[in-house]
Amino acid sequence: MLRTPRIPLIDTLRGVALIAMASYHFTWDLEFFGYLEPGTATEGGWKIYARLIASSFLFLVGISLVLAHRPAIRWKPFGRRLGMVAAAAAVISIGTFIALPQEWIFFGILHAITVSSLIALAFLPLPPLMAALAAIGILIAFVIDGWVMPGVLRSSVFDPRALAWIGLAETPPRSNDFVPLFPWLSAVLAGVAVAGLLQRHGGFQRLQSWQQRPNILTRAGQHSLVFYLVHQPVLIGIVYLASLVAPPPAPDPIESYNRSCEASCTTGGNDAGLCQRFCACTGEKLVAQSLFEPMQRREIDPSTDQRVLDIAGQCTAVSMEKP
């Protein structure tokens, strides 16, 4: 059986995913520069949007693996492409480590594509049902971990970055783009399963008939790696230039403190209501005792200053007393 030729519609779908990704990153950039409320791009509908975009990219990775390497793996093209993606992932890690050392990207979407592609190779010679069962099994396991028996799959052993990329950490390190192997491998395997079924039953031939000529989205999809590497510097540059002409409004320091405090508190596994009460209490007392501004300027260390520690202790007690 000959390898299925490139299908314009698949590239077009990848192009659509690229545009969606750029729109999300533009929202993140607007938040970063202060034009949008903190947390806008990482909460609610935008959080779901980001996960759908990541899922679509990984799903298309699985589709592309079948198109390019079934019935036989073409090792040279595979190695060349994998090396390019891995190199791009390294560039992203190094660049973000320099620019944002506290939240650098140690395992983002490109890292996930690199590792998932290697694992997915093992499923290419197998019946599509095997990839489907593996994808479903991973999803079920993480649904149980998230809803039925919270934390059953997780351990603090996996918290360091050297292991957090697997996806089993209790408290993953902070990162601006974290796409761990599990459960995201399931999206790649789902793509392998769907593509395998399409290939067996003539589905790709029908997809080829749906789009005969390439368009701008098709061409973007054919150069997705270049688009990925270039689009964020361009978008950041645009927002930066806009900030010089029309600067964003100055953030309310108390509101910023409350958001940061609540995020840190809930990340530690505490109840959201308790965190909200605790942060409001500490913020008020810090201002009342003229400690807030020196702490913001880092003139005092909240982890060692006894006055701040006393406030934290008082507010902890008060917050736990309230329903």
Task: Give domain status of residue 79, yes or no.
Answer: yes
Alpha carbon distance 231, 229 (integer Å): 6
Which tokens go with 166?
A: 């697997």
Alpha carbon distance 236, 29 (integer Å): 6
Residue range 185-226, pLDDT digits in tens = 999 999 999 999 999 999 999 999 999 899 999 999 999 999
Task: Give domain status of residue 180, yes or no.
Answer: yes
Same domain, 218 and 294: no
pLDDT score, position 4: 60
Same domain, 181 and 120: yes
Alpha carbon distance 224, 164 (integer Å): 27
Cβ pair 21, 29 in contact under 8 A: no
**Total domains, the chain:** 2
Cβ pair 218, 12 in contact under 8 A: yes
Task: Give domain status of residue 56, yes or no.
Answer: yes
Same domain, 65 and 205: yes
> If you average pLDDT over residues 311-317, what whole number do you get?
91
pLDDT score, position 250: 80
pLDDT score, position 86: 98
Alpha carbon distance 209, 274 (integer Å): 58
Same domain, 101 and 220: yes
* Distance from the Cα of residue 96 to its chain's centroid: 14
Cβ pair 89, 114 in contact under 8 A: yes
Task: Give domain status of residue 211, yes or no.
Answer: yes
Alpha carbon distance 112, 92 (integer Å): 13
pLDDT score, position 65: 97
Same domain, 231 and 292: no
> If you average pLDDT over residues 51-74, what whole number do you get?
95
Full residue range of the structural domain in which residue 113 is found: 8-245
> If you average pLDDT over residues 259-283, what whole number do you get?
85
- Amino acid 239 reads V
Task: Give domain status of residue 2, yes or no.
Answer: no
Is residue 3 scored above 60 in pLDDT?
no
Same domain, 34 and 125: yes
- Tell me how far CA of residue 301 lies from CA of 142, 294, 295, 296, 298, in angstroms: 39, 9, 7, 10, 7
Task: Give domain status of residue 28, yes or no.
Answer: yes
> If you average pLDDT over residues 60-72, what whole number do you get?
94
Task: Give domain status of residue 179, yes or no.
Answer: yes
Alpha carbon distance 235, 173 (integer Å): 26
Alpha carbon distance 58, 50 (integer Å): 13
Task: Provide the mean pLDDT of the chain.
Answer: 92
pLDDT score, position 323: 55
pTM of the model: 0.83
Cβ pair 207, 7 in contact under 8 A: yes
Alpha carbon distance 210, 27 (integer Å): 33
Cβ pair 28, 160 in contact under 8 A: no
> If you average pLDDT over residues 302-323, what whole number do you get?
86
By three-state DSSP, how is residue 155 classified? strand
User: CB pairs under 8 A, 24+ apart, for 285-293?
Assistant: 285/311, 285/314, 285/315, 286/311, 287/254, 292/253, 292/254, 292/257, 293/253
Same domain, 24 and 64: yes
Cβ pair 138, 189 in contact under 8 A: yes
pLDDT score, position 1: 46
Element at 189 (helix H, strand E): helix 181-200
Residue range 92-136, pLDDT digits in tens = 999 999 998 989 999 999 999 999 999 999 999 999 999 999 999
- Return the residue matching tokens 């991973």: 138
> If you average pLDDT over residues 175-183, what whole number do you get?
96
